Structure 1
Amino acid sequence: MTKVVFMGTPQFSVPILTMIHENGYEVLAVVTQPDRPVGRKKVLTPPPVKEEALRLGVKVIQPEKLKNSTELEEIIELNPDIIVTAAYGQILPKRLLDVPRLGCINVHASLLPKYRGGAPIHQAILDGQTKTGVTIMYMVEKLDAGDIISQREIPIGENDHTGSLFDKLSILGRDLLQDTLPSIIDGTNKRIPQNEAEATFAHNISREQERIDWSKSASDIYNQVRGLHPWPVAYTTLNGENVKVWWAKLGDSTSSLQPGSVTKINKDSFEIATGDGKTLAILDLQPSGKKRMTAQDYLRGTGSKLQIGDLFE
């Protein structure tokens, strides 16, 4: 029986771990990030992968930092045949990469060499891509630069957002790994070197990327809203107060008003001018200090004084 150490953290990784366990591989341990405070009340919350590992009865290891840790020694002593990672969140040191006889492989949510790094799903939508996929690859010391074993592609729909694509790619990654693992174990798998000239990067989302620049085109801002939904969420300001824009759609009108200006107030939305003369219709938002709400509820209450020409910045 092939002995596996699985390393992952968010919900994306859960179906992949479950598949490995259900397919009869021996999961020696699950390595995941430490429990973190979540929400306004800062409730200490385990990562989704830890919850699934406990449900499956698998040992959990949670190093704060893997390099030079006692937990690293513990993993090495397990001597797995293969290490499988999926959105773990830390770089594996060379000492660990060298341990498994079948290598360390990663389930990465992009069509490498495009979008190496920690936010490939966000970045694909932010960039307006119409397709993405999953890559199974060998891990090396350089970020997401190892040889490709297999890939599978899916389209990105016009209404897809990071959350919906996250779910689709998680299942795609699970299925692709299930199909790929047997060839890795019996040594018949492919090894395709990545073309470094085509490499692009998707670093973790910065606070600057979250703020809407209304001088950009309506489609670019729409891609920003859906690329940051449901986390970390795009935002703008009105009268100096932050307003999160949870959801929007391309408006059905044009405007010569200054970008950021309110151009139209409908029953269930309001439209804002953008840099290309088109508008973005706000459907779902969260004013500072308030709960998330529909634009319709906002216009009935907090935003009842909103007027044509009011400026979001």
Structure 2
Amino acid sequence: MTQSLRVIFAGTPDFAAASLSALLDSDHRVVAVYTQPDRPAGRGRKLTPSPVKALAQAHALPIHQPLSLKDAEVQAELASYDADIMVVVAYGLLFPQAVLDIPRLGCLNVHASLLPRWRGAAPIQRAIEAGDSESGVTIMQMDAGLDTGPMLLRRAIPIDATTTGGELHDRLADLGGEAIVTALDALAGPGLKPTPQPETGITYAAKLSKAEAELDFRQPAATLAARIQAFNPWPVAWTQLGSDTLRLWRAEPGRRRDDDPTASPGSLLSSDPDALRIACGNSGNEVLRITQAQLPGGKALPARDLLNARGELLRVGTRLGQATRSQEEPRP
């Protein structure tokens, strides 16, 4: 049987809850949970606990929601748990060195990339957007830098052209839970050798924004398809269709047909049975196939169903994006 470690867990969203669940099912003992304060959510803007808090409540664990970890009283309370280690997963607060030094074995982070690629806030989506062929999780010993600490364990999984941000999120959340338990088991026994991150291959995953989800159809089809897949389910790629917003959920690069007319980027071409086809690229000489999309007030639908229901809005030659800016005008 593995020696049981006393663990403080710090995390907030669903991704973190998967690691907490794995720890609760392990031989290790979670002695306290730190998570972000409750936030307004839903139409009523009711204060709602984070997924990590909800799970901690279900297991009657001590819960703390400080606004900062810099306060001496907060640090003293954390130290009072006499934890062997602190596991941090998408917590959302900066860790001062004084906190990193409190647990006997320090603080470990479950990071959703194969470090040093994609340090930062949105590694899952940026990996898909960039066309990476693989992603994974890294168990990292935390230091004062941004995802710069030595690596203890890495687990990789493939990404293909059909993978969405949501699908990769869920796979990595489960993988992260498995990996952190493996890491703690090893630390409780023979140990793990820290490996410094290489100086080459460092990239940064900037935080996602709704503004960047608007598509520019002058870009290549592969670039647009990767962005649509990456931004599903948030912030969701979009474009203007007349006065409406058309949200684009799934896509892939397509091929031009012999009968396709010369068309400006953003123009709808004749449809496939299962896809909207949009001219894209600098001269409109590439094709983007949209296989799932959503109009205001409706659900995300397969393109076939959307065409059957609202085909009058999606006629050949219709120009996407015109309501906000001309596609010929340079972006600022």
Change (3 A) 1:79 1:156: same
- Structure 1 residue aligned with 2:160: 157
Q: Could you say which residue in structure 2 is the equivalent of 1:270?
A: 276
Cα distance between partner residues in 2 of 1:140 and 1:151: 17
Please give the residue correspondences for 1:219-258 in structure 2 after superposition, counting only pairs within 5 Å: 219-254=222-257, 256-258=262-264
**3-state SS of paired residue (1:265):** strand
Match in the other structure for 1:168: 171
1:141 matched to 2:167? The reply is no
Task: Please list, as runs of the form range in 1=range in 2, the aligned pairs for 1:28-177 lying within 5 A after superposition.
Answer: 28-68=31-71, 71-177=74-180
Deviations 1:250-288 (A, max 9, x none): 334355311111012344432111106221222322334
Check the 8 A contact 1:4/1:29 in 2, yes or no. Answer: yes
1:215-262, CA deviations, whole angstroms, 9 ceiling, x for partnerless residues? Answer: 111111110011011111111112243321122233343553111110
Query: What are the Cα deviations for residues 161-203 of structure 1, in whole angstroms up to 9, with x where unaligned?
Result: 1111111111211222222212223462111111233211102
What displacement does 1:47 show?
1.4
Q: Distance in 1 between matches of 2:76 and 2:61?
A: 18
User: Residue 326 of structure 2 aligns with which residue?
Assistant: none
TM-score scaled by length of structure 2 = 0.87
Contact 1:121 1:165 (C-alpha < 8 Å) held by counterparts: yes
Following the alignment from structure 2 to structure 1, what is the Cα–Cα distance between the partners of residues 92 and 206? 12
C-alpha separation between the residues in 1 aligned to 2:81 and 2:206?
32
CA-atom RMSD, angstroms? 2.1
Number of equivalenced pairs: 313
The letter of the residue matching 1:304 is E
Aligned pair 1:261/2:267, yes or no? yes
Equivalent residues of 1:234, 1:246 under 8 A apart = yes
Instruction: Give structure 2 stretches of 5+ with no counterpart.
Output: 322-332
Q: Does 1:193 align with 2:193?
A: no
Q: Which moved more, 1:123-132 or 1:181-190?
A: 181-190
TM-score by length of 1: 0.92
Q: 2:289 aligns with which of 259, 263, 281?
A: 281
Letter aligned with residue 70 of structure 2: K
Q: Could you say what secondary structure the match of 1:279 adopts?
A: strand
SS at match of 1:75: helix
**Which structure 1 segments of 5+ residues have no match?**
none
Say if 1:263 and 1:72 are closer, same or farther in 2 by CA, change over 3 A.
Answer: farther
In 2, Cα distance between equivalents of 1:274 and 1:66: 48
Is 1:299 the counterpart of 2:307 in the alignment? yes
CA deviation string 1:11-64 (max 9, x = no partner): 112231122122232211111122222233434322111111112221111223
- Compared CA separation, residues 295 and 70, structure 1 to 2 (3 A): farther
Could you say what secondary structure the match of 2:79 adopts? helix
| Contact 2:161–2:252, Cα closer than 8 Å, also in 1 | no
Change (3 A) 1:117 1:251: same
